[in-house]
Chains A and B, each alone.
Chain A
Amino acid sequence: MNYRKKETTIVVSQEMISEGIYDLRVKTPAAEVCVPGQFVGIFPPSDAHILMRPISICEADADGQILRMVYRIAGEGTKEISKLKAGEEVKLLSVLGNGFPLDAAKDKKVAVFGGGIGIPPMLYTSRMLNGTAKETEIYLGYRNNDTFLATEFEPFGTLNIVSEDGSVGYKGNVLDAIKERDFRPDVMYACGPMPMLRAIKQYAESIGAIAYISLEERMACGVGACLGCVCKTVNKDAHSHVNNTRICTEGPVFDAREVEI
C-alpha cells in the first residue's frame, strides 16, 4: 500500500530509555501500513532545520495507530526532537523505504542481528518474523551492560546479548557470538554499524546464507529525487544505471550480495 505523505502527528509519549537514546511514540495511520525495516522522516520543530531526520520504525501498533521510533541524539536536530512532549505536534514524512523481505524466513533457520542504535528496527522485524521461521536466534550487540530494548526481544527467539566490554552476555561482537554458538542460519536480517554489516555480509557468503542488511546514509529528500543517499552496487542501479543505488528508495534494506560496502 502506498502511504506517502508529510503529515502532522501528535506525540503520544517520549522518554529517555538510555543515555542519549529516546523512545518516541506518535499517533498516525502509517502504523497500519508500514512494514519492518521501513523508516520515517522526523522534522525537527524549528524552521532553521529544513531536512527531516531519517529514523527507523522500532514498532508499529496497527490497532492503536501508534508508531514507535527509538533513536540516538546525533546532533542539533535530534536534540530538538528529543524535547517533544506528549500532546505536542511533530511532522513526519512517511512511510519511506522498502523494508525487510520477511517471506524469505519461511521455515528457515533465521538469525536477527542488531548493533547499537541499529537494534530498534530489529524489534519490529523480530516480532513479525515470529511464527514464520523454523528457528530464530537474536543477537544484540551493545557497548556495555546498558542493554536498552533487550528484554522486549525475549518472546521472539533465542536471545543472545553481546557486549564489547564483556560486562554482560558474550564478550566481543555479534559475529563472535554466533560463531561461538556455531549457529548456522539460512537467512539473516541485520541493522547496525558498517563494520558489523560488512562482517555479516562476509559471514553469510562463507556459510552460503542470505543476508538482508539495512544501510544508512545522510539523506535530504527521502523519496528518491535528490540522489544524496546512494550506495555502491554490484549491478547497474535502477535509477541512473551507474552502480549507485538510492538507499531511501531501493533500500534501506538490501540483499548483502547486491551492495559493495
Chain B
Amino acid sequence: MDTKVTIAGVELKNSVMTASGTFGSGMEYSDFVDLNRLGAIVTKGVANVPWSGNPTPRVTETPSGMLNAIGLQNPGIDVFIERDLEFLKQFNTPVIVNVCGHTVEEYLEVVERLADTNAAMLEINVSCPNVKQGAIAFGQKTEALFDITKRIKEIARQPIIMKLSPNVTDIAEMAKAAEAAGADAISLINTITGMKIDINRRKFVLANKTGGLSGPAIRPVAVRMVYQCAQAVKIPIIGMGGIATYEDALEFIMAGATAVSVGAVNFANPYATVEIVEGIEKYLKDTKTESLKELIGCVG
C-alpha cells in the first residue's frame, strides 16, 4: 500500500496537509497530533512586515461552518523565519509557506526572503477575502493572476502553488491562467465571502462586515471546483474546503486532487488531520488499492 504522492518534485509521505491559517505553524497543534504524520504543514500567511489584522469580532459560527475575517494578522517574515520555520525543522514533514501581500512587490520580497530557508514549497495567497488591499485582488481576474504568478515564478527558488479563490465566475479559467504563467500547482478553495447579521443588535456580527465561509457547509462547492480545475489543467491540485473525515478527503482526491488540506475542522477536532491519514490508509487496505495515485481523478 503506497500513500505517497509527489507535487512539483516534492515527495509527500501522504496526501494530507493543513490548510493555511487554521493550524498556525503547527506549534499550537503539536500538543494534539504528531506533526511527523502529516503529508505537509502549510503555515499561516506571512507578509514582508507584521500585519495587525482586522478588529474583533473576527469569527462567528454558521450552520456547519464558520465565518472568519482575521485579516491575516501575522508577525512578518523576519520573526517567521527565526521562530516558526526554526521550530518546524525538528519534524520530518515538508513545510509549505503561505505568502501574502498588498502589492506584487510585497509578495516578491517575502518570496525572496524564503529562498534559502527550509520551506519546501510556497503557497501564494491571492484569495484572502478579508484584506482590503491586495490579496484577493490578484485572484479574481485572469490577467492579474497570470501577471503575479509569472513575476513570482521568475524569482522563486521553490515550487509555487497558487491558492485560488472560489469568488469568481469561472474557476477553470483562473486555474488555466495560473498554469499558463508557470505555476507548479494550484490549491483551492479559499473561503467563500459571506455575511452574518445580528438581528437583535441590528448590526453585522463581524467587525469587518464580511468574512470567509469555511467548514463542511462549503464542501460540495469545493469538490465541484476541484473537479472543474482538474478537467482544465495538468498541474497538480491541492483540494480543500470543509474536509472533516477521510471520506471527505477521498472525494476531493477522486475529483482530481493530488493532496488535500484540512482547515476549519481542526478547530472542531484537533485530531482530524491524523485521523484522516489513518482513515485513508485503512480505505486503501480494505479496498485492496495498491496506491493512492490510482484514486486521483478516478471519477473521470
Contacts and interface: CB of A to CB of B under 8 A. Distances in A.
B31 A228 contact: no
Nearest to B242: A50
A79 B60 CA distance: 16
Contact of B73 (A77, A93, A231, A240): A240
B267 A217 contact: no
Interface stretch (B19-27, B158-166, B170-178): B19-27
A218 interface: yes
Given A2-B31, A4-B31, A226-B267, A220 B59 contact: yes
A56 B249 CA distance: 35
A242 B74 CA distance: 8
A147 interface: no
Given A4-B31, A6-B271, A225-B22, A241 B215 contact: no
Interface in A178-222: 217-222
Contacts of A226: 21-22, 24, 59, 68, 70, 267
Contacts of A219: 59
B266 A225 contact: yes
Q: Give chain B's interface secondary structure class.
A: loop
Interface residues on B, range: 35 or more
Nearest to A218: B57
A230 B74 CA distance: 12
A51 interface: yes
A187 B61 CA distance: 37
A124 B5 CA distance: 52
A227 interface: yes
Contact of B28 (A51, A217, A221): A221
B201 to A, nearest CB: 13
A243 interface: yes
Contacts of B31: 2, 4-5, 223
Contact of A241 (B22, B24, B50): B50
B191 to A, nearest CB: 13
Given A225-B22, A227-B53, A244-B52, A220 B28 contact: no
A145 B22 CA distance: 44
A49 interface: yes
B270 A223 contact: yes
B155 to A, nearest CB: 26
Interface in B8-31: 21-24, 28-29, 31
B51 interface: yes
A216 to B, nearest CB: 11
Given A5-B31, A221-B22, 19 more contacts: A5-B32, A6-B270, A47-B64, A50-B216, A51-B61, A218-B60, A221-B28, A223-B28, A225-B28, A226-B21, A227-B53, A228-B70, A229-B59, A230-B56, A240-B52, A241-B76, A242-B51, A242-B53, A244-B73
6 contacts: A48-B63, A50-B215, A217-B56, A220-B264, A221-B22, A242-B51
Interface of B: 21-24, 28-29, 31-32, 44, 50-53, 56-61, 63-66, 68, 70, 73-76, 79, 215-216, 264-271
